[in-house]
Amino acid sequence: MRHVHGGARRAWAALAAAVMGTALLAGCSADGSGPLGMGGAVGRSPAPEDVIRVNPDDGAKGVRPGDRLRVRLPGGRLEKVSVVRSQDAQDSPVPGRISADGLTWTPEEGQLALAAKYTVDVVALDARGRRSARHTTFTTYVPDERFIGYVTPENRATVGTGMIVSLAFSREITDRAAVQRAVHVTARPPVEIRPHWFGKDRLDFRPERYWKPGTEVTVDLDLRDVEGAHGVYGLQDKTFSFTVGRSQVSLVDAARHTMDVRRDGELLATVPITAGAPKHPTYNGKMVVMDMLEVTRMNSQTVGFGGEYDIPDVPHAMKLTDSGTFLHGNYWAPEAPGTANISHGCVGLRDVKGGGSDTPAGWFFDRSLVGDVVEVVNSKDKMVSPDNGLGGWNMGWKEWKAGSAVK
């Protein structure tokens, strides 16, 4: 992502002033409801699985190599299809072709890879010309007597200072000490790094404080033939690394409706935001950007609500928790950021339909990295759980170290 220079800061100051000055020009829905929650009804759209059909199904596990990967529409036109295969902490694009009629995407390669995670992002127009987006994932078959760890972040990534190394295992680990001894996380310059288990299938690593910018982190997975459960052995013998970029920590004050963005300790900008409404407040605490999507669909039913909202084209969406908290652009209630909290738990920044580069949401998205920290204060909700996304920074160092399986 681009660094911000003096001219950009001055331009942003003018933009922020304009945003605040026009904050009351548009109206919102009577009840202030909206996606995860950025209020304002925008009309019902077809369910995402009806508009964009992806095979294998979203969340499918143990998909066999011979199963067919395909994206298709019942009508309309595919605009963009992106498929990424993650294997041993290495992300690789999966090339494919959109059919001449625009209704189908198929991969160029043959069978699916074993022990891999696939991520599918699709943007399409339905038969009535309405834009929609879908984000799905599935994992492929791992032989019964083997296990692997799906690793975050990806190999050779440049990440923010809040990144936590996280391994999600393909099956439950009963001999956690043996597996932990086979995973080595080191840093240059050196810093103490400690592990913490969340349940029997997730192992995270972090230092006591955020990484220093410029740190190079190496993860060695010496899991091959390590017995993680009775008769089940590790498959991986891999080394990967990532680099810690500049420091960016953003402080969301839910009571003031603002977000202070600090780059390397310097205040870069104060951005107007809208947070969770009283019935659906935003979590307090430190959250880490896990994923960045230029556009995504948000449906209240997928995160445990009723039918309050279904927004097919939410722009500049940055995932903060596994439970569905996002920081994203809001084009349907432009008066809310800076004035009121109307969401279902998300943090919203003013944007335009389709996503604008010169809006607060576009400005922030263009200057963010996976691994950046977003901390929320003064919200009337509990602290985010340490295992919800990369929330481990909300746990004290002593308690974090106590989560090691090796004493």
Active-site residue list: 328, 346
Residue 71 CA, distance from chain mean position: 22
Pairing between strand 326-330 and 347-350?
A: parallel
Using an 8 Å Cβ cutoff, are 145 and 227 in contact? no
Residue that the structure tokens 């810690």 belong to? 244
Say whether 26 sits in a helix, a strand or coil: coil
Pairing between strand 158-159 and 237-244?
A: parallel
CB-based contacts of 252, cutoff 8 Å, min separation 6: 258, 259, 273, 275, 282, 347, 374, 375, 376, 377
- Give the Cα separation of 7 and 15 in Å (integer): 12
Which amino acid, one-letter code, is at 124?
Answer: A
Question: At CA 304, angle to CA 303 and CA 310, rounded to 5?
Answer: 60
Residue that the structure tokens 């410029």 belong to? 214
E strands, 284-351, are 285-288, 291-299, 310-319, 326-330, 347-350
Element (H, E) at 199: none
| Sign, CA torsion 286/172/57/304 | negative
DSSP state of 8: H
Distances in Å between the Cα of 201 and the Cα atoms of 139, 179, 218, 336 are 15, 11, 21, 40
| Radius of gyration of the chain from its Cα atoms, rounded to whole angstroms | 22
Give start and end residues of each alpha helix (H) in 208-280: none
Element (H, E) at 134: strand 131-139
E strands, 230-309, are 232-234, 237-244, 248-253, 258-263, 266-272, 285-288, 291-299
Bridge partners, 124 (sequence order): 78, 132
- Give the Cα separation of 347 and 341 in Å (integer): 9
Q: How many CB atoms lie within 10 A of CB 213?
A: 14
